[in-house]
Chain A
Amino acid sequence: GQNIDQPTEMTATEGAIVQINCTYQTSGFNGLFWYQQHAGEAPTFLSYNVLDGLEEKGRFSSFLSRSKGYSYLLLKELQMKDSASYLCAGQNAGNMLTFGGGTRLMVKP
């Protein structure tokens, strides 16, 4: 599997922008997923990147650099409901996912 590293916790203010970083080992890498998981709930799909660059989806964007083994999730105009854990997951050629430990984001008023 791949080693997926992301910060354990982050705190940001309502209305602000926050960037959650994720690094991974590039061997056997096929693509990268981001999931959102509210406390006590199932992870839900946010984004998938396979090519270098930025993918934008409303307030959420995800970036990938394959050569650097690096991705980030960018959340704009933060809302209180964005308080959740954000999971970075690398996909290998067999379509299996390896997850990072998750980043718990707390949005404060």
Chain B
Amino acid sequence: DVKVTQSSRYLVKRTGEKVFLECVQDMDHENMFWYRQDPGLGLRLIYFSYDVKMKEKGDIPEGYSVSREKKERFSLILESASTNQTSMYLCASSPTSGRGGETQYFGPGTRLLVL
């Protein structure tokens, strides 16, 4: 059974704090993704990685960075949290098949509140 886990379900941080969100997958997938989900806006891609130590900016990378030191782990970092980063953060992973049609598997999400 496929599994993507995220380090926290709920997190409360103060403005200016450095925040780490961790994601681990046990499916040996090459690709990993970080999204944020906000009402009415759907899922928006922050960063993705298609291999260890590789990272690519998504649609909304400003204010975020990522780290992928091991294949199974993809971390999202908020260098200095701001109130507009209050959101649900979803991690996902998928294999690389070259055929298309490979679904992404999502973690349970981390609901972050920045005060």
Contact = CB atoms under 8 A, between A and B. Distances in A.
Interface residues of A, number: 26
B100 A91 contact: yes
B107 A42 contact: yes
A42 B90 contact: yes
Interface stretch (A12-20, A58-66, A76-84, A96-104): A96-104
B98 to A, nearest CB: 9
Contacts of B44: 99
B106 A96 contact: no
A107 interface: no
A73 interface: no
B4 to A, nearest CB: 8
Nearest to B94: A95
A72 to B, nearest CB: 17
- Size class of the B contact interface (CB-based, 8 Å): 20 to 34
Given A31-B100, A50-B100, A42 B42 contact: no
A72 B2 CA distance: 27
A95 B45 contact: no
A98 B100 CA distance: 14
A94 to B, nearest CB: 9
Interface string A24-45: 0000001101000000111111
Interface in A44-74: 44-45, 48, 50
A99 B108 contact: no
Interface of B: 4, 31, 35, 40-45, 48, 59, 90, 94, 96, 100-109
30 contacts: A1-B59, A33-B103, A40-B109, A41-B108, A41-B109, A42-B4, A42-B90, A42-B107, A42-B109, A43-B43, A43-B106, A45-B103, A48-B101, A50-B100, A89-B43, A91-B100, A91-B101, A93-B100, A95-B31, A95-B94, A95-B100, A96-B48, A97-B104, A98-B45, A99-B35, A99-B42, A100-B42, A101-B40, A101-B42, A102-B42
Interface of A: 1, 4, 8, 30-31, 33, 40-45, 48, 50, 87, 89, 91, 93, 95-102
